[in-house]
A and B are shown apart, each in its own frame.
Chain A
Amino acid sequence: MSVLAEIRVAVADMLRDSSLDGQINILSHVVGDMPLPHVVIVPAEGKYIDYHGTFGPTCNMTIRLVARVVYPIGGSAESGDIALDGFLSSGTTETLSVVDALAGDGVLPDGRAFTLHAADVDNHLYGQLGTESTVSAEIPLLVQIYRS
């Protein structure tokens, strides 16, 4: 598996290792069947990879990902809004926090480490995913890793 794919799998594994597992479907890549609610790790819009952050053959690369949290709006829009806020909250008592679950460095299968930083989140997005109304938010993720 390529390093980019491995990073996305590792980020998804960090979510699975947290208290989020069982509360939301965790996906490292876009797949055909994506049951709600879910968080999926996807490349950021715009610049995805900065290959040359520093000099040399083992230079620093910056990879921009997004943890997209999608929640179904069931009986009321309010319930979906409240549930999504739970996933976007941050703090030591926030057991559903996606950001807190991603606070730490990751490790690839070959032992290489990467640093991970969650950046600022924009507003909730309301829309339609297939036949279901959804509310979603995107958490930008900044990954730093040295080329092998």
Chain B
Amino acid sequence: MPAFVLTNTSIIVGTTDISQFTGTFTPTSTVAMQPATTFGSGGFEQRLPGLKSFTESFSGLAAYSAGEVTAVFNAAQVGSQQLVTVAPTGGLVAADPVSFGRFIIDGIQAPGGNVGDVASFAMSMTSDTATVEGIVASPLALRTTTFVAPIVAHVGPTAAQSLYVGLNVTAATGVGTMVVTVQSATLVGFGSPTLRATLPATTAATAGWPFFVAPVTTTDGFYRATLTQTGAGNITSQVVIGVA
């Protein structure tokens, strides 16, 4: 992909799509550098990479109508856990790149600004587990029946890695449930798929955001999400997968 301008970036925090309220996002990945110097280090300090951590910060415009960013994320939400998914190119089609992980909100500044300014919103978050570079398996959309997402290519997890699956349910009404499963296969034709993850059932009347870790080791290169709905539910959701 050539260079591109950030315009359609999709940012979903928990059950809320905050894209249209956000004008800046800053992901940061760090690793603690631990001293490992010995008498054999030849007179130089040596270090080993230690634990990894991640932060995300978002800023933009405050808005207070039902479901809008400041109505959902305010002082009451500080300290809450959220599944954060950021799709820089929009996340509108399967296989779009996405960065996702479970974070804790560690700061919110909203609304802010000087008199005459457009009211601003800012939120910062710190990871409490892995942050995963993955792809969109099932783009954000309203579904009322079972949906079998397209087959997407992705490298499988090695023995030191896991398969991560994130599900953002941004709206849910009606009755019934939705269960998301992820399968993998060796070949693109998906001839003999293997079930890799089954997420907790989503109740149609409740938005939510499961973040699922599957301790899988496989060389399978193709994956597919299936959103199995029972009952008469109207569920708007996005499924993302990745390996870390």
Contacts and interface: CB of A to CB of B under 8 A. Distances in A.
A binds B: yes
Contacts of B10: 55-56
Interface in B88-123: 90, 116, 118
Interface string B20-33: 11110100000000
B152 to A, nearest CB: 22
B118 A55 contact: no
Contact of A144 (B11, B23, B25, B118): B118
Given A119-B116, A144-B118, A57 B61 contact: no
Interface in A57-114: 57-60, 62
Contacts of A146: 20
Give the interface size bracket for A toward B.
Answer: 10 to 19
Give the interface size bracket for B toward A.
Answer: 10 to 19
Interface in B183-214: none
A143 to B, nearest CB: 11
A137 B118 CA distance: 24
Q: Is the interface of A mostly helix, strand, loop or mixed?
A: loop
Nearest to B6: A55
A54 B60 contact: yes
Contact of A56 (B20, B61, B116, B118): B20
A60 B61 contact: yes
B61 A55 contact: no
B116 A55 contact: no
Interface string A19-37: 0000000000000000000
Contacts of A142: 118
A142 B60 CA distance: 17
B8 interface: yes
A52 B116 CA distance: 20
A52 B7 CA distance: 7
A58 B19 CA distance: 8
Contacts of B70: none
A2 B227 CA distance: 39
Contacts of B85: none
Nearest to A119: B116
A53 interface: yes
Nearest to A56: B19
5 contacts: A54-B60, A55-B6, A60-B60, A120-B116, A144-B118
Given A55-B19, A60-B23, 7 more contacts: A55-B8, A55-B23, A56-B9, A56-B20, A57-B8, A59-B20, A146-B20
